[in-house]
Amino acid sequence: MKTVSIIIPVYNAEAYIKQCFANICNQTYTHSAIECVFIDDGSKDNSSSLIKNLITKDDSNITFQLITHEHNQGVSVARNTGIKAAKNDYLFFMDVDDNISADCIHLLVKATSDYPEANIIVGNLLNKKEDTCHHTKEAVICRNGCHQNLHDTLLFIYTSFPVNKLIARKFVLDNHLFFPVGIPYFEDLQWIIDVVQLCDKIVYLPQLTYFYEYVDSSTMSHSQQKPKTLAECYLSLIRKVTALDTPPCAIEKHLFIHFYICKLMNMKHRVNSKEDVAFFRKGLIRQSINLRKPLLFLYDLLLFRPFYMITQLKVYRSHSAELRLWICDRCNNNDTYFL
């Protein structure tokens, strides 16, 4: 029987511990094949005490372990600790303030038998704040090829979160796929980019297995992010994707970088990234010329606000895998070109 290690970072999460613990104990998959690794990343509340008490009283036959860090080191370090401590065939990452369906692990493990060559099985995820699912297909989707999987990630076609994915532990360890340390935000996206470049087959299931709660008080709440730190994380993502040597995904890289440059330019607070933005913006212009994509070139020119104001045009991009761009008259909202 295939075994699963559920890895859950915890930081000042006493309000969510009992519900999270119940989510694990309610799994329909054989309990003896599940281990759950809680990593308390230096919590200052009673998170560790609650987990210890629940483990002591548990009679579910699930293997629980609690690892504590003396001080807070960040979610990446906590997840890396979990990866190193895990002993089972597959890893499953979960956030302590989210929920999973009772048949989550059962459905994901079953798919590994149907698709034995897949290193990653992904369930459907419901973002409860936006009331949207990450994919809406009614059938199983099997994506083949590292370039195809990188394409999907850079265009946000499917979920780019590390949670809700059943990942072969051997695949993670053999490729040293640990989370980047020292990056407070979007470290999970950087990790996913590393993962998909090495993963030839990813399977997406239509069934809802994960419920993303979006807690405003969480460390990922944008209201709590320091503008300078956030800008540095945007730049870190841009640098990472710029350095990717994947010619088949050149346009996808281009649009990904464009997206985060726009985020930098639209930040409400001033950040010391003007020179970096200018450098990468010029790089996009050169790339669109080299790719001989006139519409992509125009898309880049709109990063220069005077051009945008003079032309009264806007270039829209699709969020589909077809990479479509089209020009629209900003005043009349009439499409003039469509590619």
The domain boundary residue, chosen from 168, 184, 212: 212
Q: Rounded distance, CA 143 to CA 148, Å?
A: 7
Q: Is the pLDDT reported for residue 221 higher than 50?
A: no
Q: Which of 273, 280, 283, 288 is nearest to 325 (CA)?
A: 288
Q: Is the pLDDT reported for residue 331 higher than 70?
A: no
174 and 105 assigned to the same domain: yes
Q: Rounded distance, CA 47 to CA 12, Å?
A: 6
Q: Is the pLDDT reported for residue 282 higher than 60?
A: yes
Q: Is the pLDDT reported for residue 332 higher than 90?
A: no
Q: Which domain holds residue 266?
A: 226-338
Q: Which of 94, 81, 83, 97 is nearest to 41 (CA)?
A: 81
pLDDT confidence band for 92 (50 / 70 / 90): very high
Q: What is the pLDDT of residue 269?
A: 58
* pLDDT tens digit sequence for 63-81: 999 999 999 999 999 999 9
254 and 144 assigned to the same domain: no
* pLDDT tens digit sequence for 104-115: 999 999 999 999
Q: What is the pLDDT of residue 294?
A: 82
Q: What is the mean pLDDT of residues 89-102?
A: 96
Q: Is the pLDDT reported for residue 52 higher than 70?
A: yes
3-state secondary structure of 45: coil
pLDDT confidence band for 328 (50 / 70 / 90): low
3-state secondary structure of 102: coil
26 and 135 assigned to the same domain: yes
Q: What is the pLDDT of residue 220?
A: 38
Q: What is the mean pLDDT of residues 81-108?
A: 96
41 and 112 assigned to the same domain: yes
* pLDDT tens digit sequence for 226-274: 777 888 889 999 999 999 998 888 988 998 998 888 888 877 655 666 7
Q: Is the pLDDT reported for residue 219 higher than 50?
A: no
Does the residue 140 lie in any domain? yes
300 and 160 assigned to the same domain: no
Pairing state between β 34-41 and 63-69:
parallel
Q: What is the mean pLDDT of residues 82-100?
A: 96
Q: What is the pLDDT of residue 29?
A: 97
Question: What are the DSSP calls for 164-220, one per residue?
Answer: TEEEEHHHHHHTT-PPPSS--SSHHHHHHHHHHTT-SEEEEEEEEEEEE---TTSTT
Q: What is the pLDDT of residue 325?
A: 62
173 and 253 assigned to the same domain: no
> Do residues 187 and 102 make contact, with C-beta atoms less than 8 angstroms apart?
no
Report the residue count for the chain: 339
Q: Rounded distance, CA 169 to CA 119, Å?
A: 9
Residue corresponding to tokens 């579910």? 60
Distance of CA 246 to the CA centre of its chain: 20
198 and 233 assigned to the same domain: no
Number of domains in the chain: 2
Calculate the alpha carbon distances from 231 to 20, 161, 243, 257, 336 in Å: 33, 20, 18, 13, 35
Tell me which of 218 and 275 has the higher pLDDT.
275
Reading the block at residue 11, the tokens are 């930081």
Using only the alpha carbons of the chain, give its radius of gyration.
Answer: 22
pLDDT confidence band for 12 (50 / 70 / 90): very high
Q: What is the pLDDT of residue 157?
A: 81
* pLDDT tens digit sequence for 141-186: 888 889 988 988 888 887 778 999 999 999 999 999 999 998 888 9
Q: Which of 315, 204, 181, 191 is nearest to 255 (CA)?
A: 315
235 and 156 assigned to the same domain: no
Model-level pTM? 0.87
54 and 192 assigned to the same domain: yes
Q: What is the pLDDT of residue 262?
A: 83
Does the residue 313 lie in any domain? yes
Q: Give the percent of the chain with pLDDT over 90.
A: 55
| Mean pLDDT, rounded, of the chain | 85
Question: What are the DSSP calls for 212-275, one per residue?
Answer: E---TTSTT-GGGS-HHHHHHHHHHHHHHHHT---GGGHHHHHHHHHHHHHHHHT-SS--S-HH
Contacts of 147 (CB under 8 A, 6+ apart): 246, 248, 249
Tell me which of 278 and 201 has the higher pLDDT.
201
Does the residue 219 lie in any domain? no
Q: Which of 175, 160, 185 is nearest to 252 (CA)?
A: 160
